[in-house]
C-alpha cells in the first residue's frame, strides 16, 4: 500500500491516490488541554491515527491536521475562557480557570467554516468526492453543519467517524479525555499517556468529561473502539463511493 499522508506525497502521487479512491480525511485537531495525563493535540492525534488505518484499508489521502477550531467562549474580568476552561455537567470537577499555558486553539465558528470552504473548494478541484472529518467535538459540529453546502457548491459528500456508528458505547471520541479518548490514545500512541502526571488527590483532573480516565481506561477498550470504527467507516465509505459512481 502506498503512503497515505498528504505531506508524504508528491503531486503526481497525490493525483494517483485521488484517482484510486477520491476520499480525503481531515483530522479536526486542536491544541486543547486534555487533562494532565494526555498530550496537547490529543483530539487530532486520535482522528489522524484512525484515518491512516482507514486509508490503508480503502484508499484516499490523509490531510494535515488542523490545530484550531471553534468552541464556546465566556468573557470575565478581561479574560477569555473557552472550551474546557468552563465546567460543564458531567465534568469531574467544578472550575472556571484558563487552561494549561500554551493550550491555545480557539477560532470563531464563522471563520473556521470559511476556512473549510476554501479546503472544500481545493479538494473538489483535484477530484475529491468524499471528505471525512473528525476530532474536536465543536469542530465536528461546525463541519457537519456544512453538509448541504458542501454537496451543492462543491459536489462533496461529508462524513465523520460517527456517520455509520450505531453502537453508542463504541462511538469514537465520544467524551473529553475521559475513558473513551484516553483508551484510544493508549491504543494508538501509548507513550503519550502518563497517569503519573495525575495528582494523588486528582485536583488537576480538570478538562475531563466522561467516565474516569485513570480508573476506567484500557488499551483493550481503545482497540475495540478503533476496530469498530475502522470497520464501520470503511464499509460506509465504500458504499458511498459506489452510490457516487452509479450516479
Mean pLDDT across 171-188: 97
Q: How far apart are CA 49 and CA 177, in angstroms?
A: 16
Mean pLDDT across 11-39: 83
Angle, helix 42-58 to helix 219-246, in steps of 10 degrees: 50
pLDDT at residue 19, rounded to an integer: 63
In this structure, what C-alpha cell is assigned to residue 196?
Answer: 503519573
Mean pLDDT across 187-199: 97
| Residue ranges of domains in the chain | 6-246
Share above pLDDT 90 across residues of the chain, in percent, rounded to a whole number: 72
Instruction: Report the mean per-residue pLDDT for the chain.
Output: 89
Q: How far apart are CA 108 and CA 70, in angstroms?
A: 5
Neighbours of 203 (CB within 10 A): 11
pLDDT at residue 76, rounded to an integer: 79
pLDDT at residue 83, rounded to an integer: 84
What pTM value is reported for the model?
Answer: 0.90
pLDDT at residue 247, rounded to an integer: 73
pLDDT at residue 77, rounded to an integer: 77
Share above pLDDT 70 across residues of the chain, in percent, rounded to a whole number: 86
**Strand partners for 180:** none
CATH topology of domain 6-246: Rossmann fold (3.40.50)
Contact 213, 205 (CB under 8 A): yes
Tens-place pLDDT, residues 219-243: 999 999 999 999 999 999 999 999 8
Q: How far apart are CA 32 and CA 159, in angstroms?
A: 23
- Give, in order, the Cα–Cα distances in Å from 39 to each of 67, 120, 181, 190, 213: 13, 29, 11, 11, 14
Nearest to 237 by CA among 143, 148, 134, 114: 134
Angle formed at CA 164 by CA 20 and CA 155, multiple of 5 degrees? 50
Q: Is the dihedral of CA 203, 77, 137, 139 positive or negative?
A: negative
pLDDT at residue 206, rounded to an integer: 84
Tens-place pLDDT, residues 67-102: 999 998 888 777 788 888 877 665 666 666 666 665
pLDDT at residue 2, rounded to an integer: 47
Tens-place pLDDT, residues 115-163: 999 999 999 999 999 999 999 999 999 999 999 999 999 999 999 999 9
* pLDDT for residue 58 is more than 50: yes
- Give, in order, the Cα–Cα distances in Å from 19 to each of 4, 15, 24, 156: 13, 6, 12, 15
Amino acid at each position: 500500500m502506498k503512503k497515505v499522508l498528504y505531506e508524504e506525497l508528491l503531486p503526481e502521487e497525490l493525483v494517483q491516490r485521488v484517482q484510486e479512491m477520491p476520499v480525503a480525511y481531515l483530522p479536526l485537531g486542536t491544541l486543547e488541554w486534555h487533562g494532565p495525563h494526555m498530550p496537547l493535540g490529543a483530539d487530532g492525534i486520535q482522528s489522524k491515527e484512525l484515518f491512516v488505518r482507514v486509508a490503508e484499508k480503502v484508499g484516499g489521502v490523509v490531510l494535515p491536521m488542523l490545530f484550531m477550531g471553534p468552541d464556546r467562549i465566556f468573557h470575565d474580568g478581561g479574560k477569555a475562557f473557552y472550551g474546557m476552561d468552563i465546567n460543564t455537567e458531567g465534568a469531574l470537577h467544578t472550575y472556571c480557570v484558563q487552561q494549561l499555558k500554551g493550550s491555545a486553539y480557539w477560532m470563531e465558528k464563522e471563520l473556521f467554516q470559511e476556512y473549510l470552504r476554501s479546503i472544500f473548494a481545493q479538494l473538489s478541484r483535484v477530484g475529491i468526492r468524499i471528505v471525512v472529518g473528525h476530532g474536536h467535538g465543536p469542530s465536528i459540529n461546525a463541519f457537519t453543519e456544512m453538509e448541504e453546502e458542501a454537496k451543492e457548491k462543491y459536489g462533496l459528500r461529508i462524513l465523520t467517524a460517527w456517520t455509520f456508528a450505531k453502537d453508542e458505547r463504541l462511538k469514537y471520541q465520544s467524551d473529553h479525555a475521559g475513558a473513551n479518548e484516553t483508551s484510544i490514545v493508549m491504543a494508538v500512541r501509548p507513550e503519550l499517556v502518563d497517569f503519573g502526571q495525575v495528582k494523588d488527590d486528582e485536583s488537576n483532573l480538570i478538562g475531563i468529561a466522561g467516565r474516569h480516565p485513570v480508573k476506567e481506561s484500557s488499551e483493550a477498550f481503545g482497540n475495540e473502539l478503533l476496530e469498530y470504527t475502522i470497520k464501520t467507516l470503511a464499509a460506509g465509505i465504500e458504499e458511498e463511493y459506489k452510490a457516487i459512481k452509479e450516479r
